[in-house]
Amino acid sequence: MTGPTHANPEPSDAVLVARARRGDHQAFETLYRRYRDWCVRIAFRFCRDESAAWDATHDAFAWLIGRLPTLTLDGRLGSLLYPVIKNAATTAARKESTRTRHESAAAARPADQRPAHDPDLATIFDAALRTLPEPQRETLLMRTSDGLSMEEIARALGVPVGTVKSRLHHALAALRENNRLRALYDDHS
């Protein structure tokens, strides 16, 4: 007696990469749809410009097309795309920063105008994140926002898993000690 039939689960990234390598355009399209929004979100975090984030995403997928003939994937595609996205978005942010410096001060965007007595959680949390050293902040966001495993983060950053765990530990400890976050928590408890 056979059990109930189940719909076939989505093919893994490795299966889709192998199919795309053999010229299956639908497999590549599936990978693109699977990772497009994630890539834009990652890129935006580094460049803070939606258009540049989309450009970085397209650059990453163009890079992937170029790598397909020799690419063998042993995990999720995200850990392979992450450094490409980061580099493209960081480059875009540098270009934007240079362009902005040359504009007049009157054309510059105003600083955040929210009143200090009415802080919002996202603003305080973003400020707390900015106090973390870049490696800790990046590792924490890859784990919490991007949903990457410890191994995927290690692979994407080119560091040992122990380093990833250490960075996460120190980042979380620093956030627990952040006075503004602590005060906000105390106000709401």
**pLDDT tens figures, 133-172:** 999 999 998 888 888 889 989 999 999 999 999 999 999 8
CATH topology of domain 114-189: Arc Repressor Mutant, subunit A (1.10.10)
Chain segment 44-97, per-residue pLDDT in tens: 999 988 989 999 999 999 999 999 999 988 889 998 999 999 999 998 888 766
Query: Rounded mean pLDDT of the chain?
Result: 81
Does this model's pTM top 0.85? My answer is no
- Say which CATH class 11-107 falls into: mainly alpha
Question: Residue ranges of the domains in the chain?
Answer: 11-107, 114-189
Cβ proximity of 154 and 148 under 8 Å = no
Neighbouring residues of 59: CB distance < 8 A, sequence distance ≥ 6: 84, 88
Tell me what pLDDT residue 92 has. 82
pLDDT at 109 over 50: no
